[in-house]
Structure 1
Amino acid sequence: MSGAERESEKTGWRASLALQFRHTPEKTVLASARHSGPLTVQRPFYPEGDTCHLYLLHPPGGIVGGDELDIRVTLEAESHALITMPGASKFYRSHGPQARLSQRFDLAKNTVLEWLPQDTIFFPGARATLHNVFHLQEGARLLAWDLFCLGRPVMGETFSHGEISSRLEIWKNDQPLLIERLHLTDGDLSAIAEQPWIGSLVFYPADETMLDDVREKLTPLETYAGATLTEGLLMVRFLSSDNLICQRAMREIWQTLRPQLLNKSPTFPRIWLT
C-alpha cells in the first residue's frame, strides 16, 4: 500500500455525487451534477443522438478502508441514461476500517437506466460494504450489471482474507422485486464454489423469450450460470475463473436484450473500445 493509501485509511475519503437527468425534446441532458470529494463525471457523450452516455470517475488509486462514497442518480420522466466507467473500481486491503459504497438510483415514469460499470476488484484483505438500490416507477426500464473479482487471479492471488458484504435491492412502485445479500469473510469462498469472478445482470421488464435468449448466451459458462424470471425481472448470475469469458458473456447478453427492451441497437460506450 502506498503512503497516500495509508494516509487515506487513517482518515477516509468522504465523497458524494448526485446526478440528475432530464428529458428535453432533443435529448436527455445531465441537468445537475453535484459532488464533494474525489467523485466526479466526464462530460456527457451522445453517440446515439438522444441517449446520454456518461462516464463516472471513482477516486484516483481506488478505495481503501475508512472511505465512504455515496452516489445518487435521479432520472426524471422520459429520460434515458447509460452510465459506465473508464476502468475497474478497486477496493484495497484494510488494516481494520471498512470501506463503504452506497448507490441509489431513482427512475421516474417511462425512464431508461443502463448501469454498466466496469469490474470491481477486491484485493486480499479488503473490508468492503456495498449497497445498491434501484427504485423504479411505472414504465421504467432497467439494464444493469456488476462483475466482482476476488483477489487477482491472473497473479495467482486469491481473496484469502478480508470481508465483503454486498446488498442489492430493486423496487417497483415501492414494492420489492428483489432483495439479496452476499457475505464473504475469512477466505471462505465455498458459497461461490471457490470461483474468483462473480457476475450478475438484471433486466426489467423481461419475458420468456428474453429468458431463453439469455440462457443460450450462458452456455460458455457451463455449470456455474443461471437465469430466472420473476414478475418481469430477469436476473442472471454466474461464477467463473476466466474474466474474458465473463466480460464476453455480459456484453453479448446486453447486446441481445437491448434491442428487445429498448428497441435500440446496441451502441458500445466509446471507453470500452480504448
Structure 2
Amino acid sequence: MKVVFPRASKGSMTAVLVNTAGGVTGGDQFAFEARAGQGTHLTLTTQAAERTYRAQPGEMGQITNRLTLDPGAQVNWLPQETILFQGSSVRRRLNVDMAADARLCLAEPLVFGRAAMGEVLTNATFQDRIEIRREGKPLYLDALSLTGDVAAHLARPNIANGAGAMVTVVYAAPDAVARLDAVRAHLPDTAGASLIQDGLLALRILAADSHDLRTSLVPILTFLSDNTLPRPWMI
C-alpha cells in the first residue's frame, strides 16, 4: 500500500490510497491511520474500486482503518466502491475519533459481485463495522455481516429486494439538520436519510448496480463535501 498526495488546493489536502496488490484476499492484512490536525481539512479516497478476491478455505482478509479528527478539523472519508467477488472472505473495520467541533463526511460504497460478468455471490463472507465516537462517546455504530449465499439473502424483499450495490453515508457536523432536505431531494426511491440526532445525518442507498449507485451518490457527496469530491471519483 502507498499514499499519493495530489496538488493541494488552498487550505486543504487530498490523499489517495493505492493498493499496489490490486485487491484483497484471504490472509492479507491492510491497516491505515490518519490524523487531521487542529483546524485542517483532509479528504481521503482510493485510486480505484477495491476488489476482494476468492480466499482459501479458513482464511480471511483484514482491513482496518482509523481516523482521528482534532478540534476544528474536517475529514472527508470517500473511498471508491469495494467489490465483493465470489468466494471472497473479508473483515473490515473503520474507527473514527472526533473532537467536539470536528466535521466528518463518510461514505462506504459496496458492490455485490461483478454484474457485467454475470457473477452471483452464492459463497462469500463480508463483515463490516463502523464506529464513530465524539469526545470518546459513541456517536454512530453500525455493523454488517454477510455469509454464504449473499445473493439469496439480498433478494429478500425486506432485506434489499435484489439490489446489486449499496452505500452507507454519514455526515457528522453542526449543520447536519440544514442539509437533510437537500439530501433527500437527491435520493432515489430505494434510499432513505434520517437525522439520527442533532448534528448527525445518516443515509443508505440501494441500487441495481454500481452505475446506478454512482448516479445517485455523486451529487450527494459533492454537496456534503462542499464541492471537494476527489478527482478519482470523476474518472
Does the alignment reach a TM-score above 0.5? yes
Among residues 21, 24, 27, which one is paired with 1:66 in the alignment? 27
Match of 1:230 among 181, 189, 196: 196
Aligned positions of 1:113-128 closer than 5 A: 113-128=75-90
Post-superposition offset of 1:94: 0.9
Distance 2:186 2:36 in 1: 30
Does the CA-based 8 Å contact 1:71-1:103 persist in structure 2? yes
CA–CA distance in structure 1, aligned partners of residues 62 and 35 of structure 2: 21
SS at match of 2:54: coil
Counterpart residue type for residue 240 of structure 1: A
Q: Does residue 194 in structure 1 map to residue 162 in structure 2? A: yes
Contact 2:14 2:43 in 1 (8 A): yes
**Aligned CA distance change for structure 1 residues 210 and 268 (closer, same or farther; 3 Å):** closer
The structural deviation recorded for 1:192 is 3.0
Contact 1:53–1:269 at 8 Å: present in 2 too?
yes
Residue 248 of structure 1 corresponds to 215
- Please give the residue correspondences for 1:23-42 in structure 2 after superposition, counting only pairs within 5 Å: 39-42=1-4
1:139 counterpart = 2:101: yes
**TM-score of the pair, normalised by structure 1:** 0.78
- The CA deviation at 1:178 is 1.1
Aligned Cα root-mean-square deviation (Å) = 1.5
The yes-or-no answer on 1:43 pairing with 2:5 is yes
Aligned to 1:105: 67
Overall identity of the aligned pairs, in %: 27
- Aligned residue for 2:171? 203
Q: Runs of 4+ in structure 1 displaced over 6 angstroms?
A: none
Indicate whether 1:215 and 2:181 are aligned: no
Task: Find the residue that maps to 1:87 and give its secondary structure.
Answer: coil
Deviations 1:160-192 (A, max 9, x none): 111111111111111111111111111133433
- Structure of higher CA gyration radius: 1
Tell me the number of residue pairs that the alignment of Structure 1 and Structure 2 aligns: 226
| Higher RCO (CA-CA < 8 Å; seq separation 6+) | 2
Q: CA deviation at 1:208?
A: 2.9
Structure 1 residue runs without a partner (length 5+): 1-38, 260-265
Letter in 1 for 2:167: G
> How many Å separate the matches in 1 of 2:146 and 2:207?
16
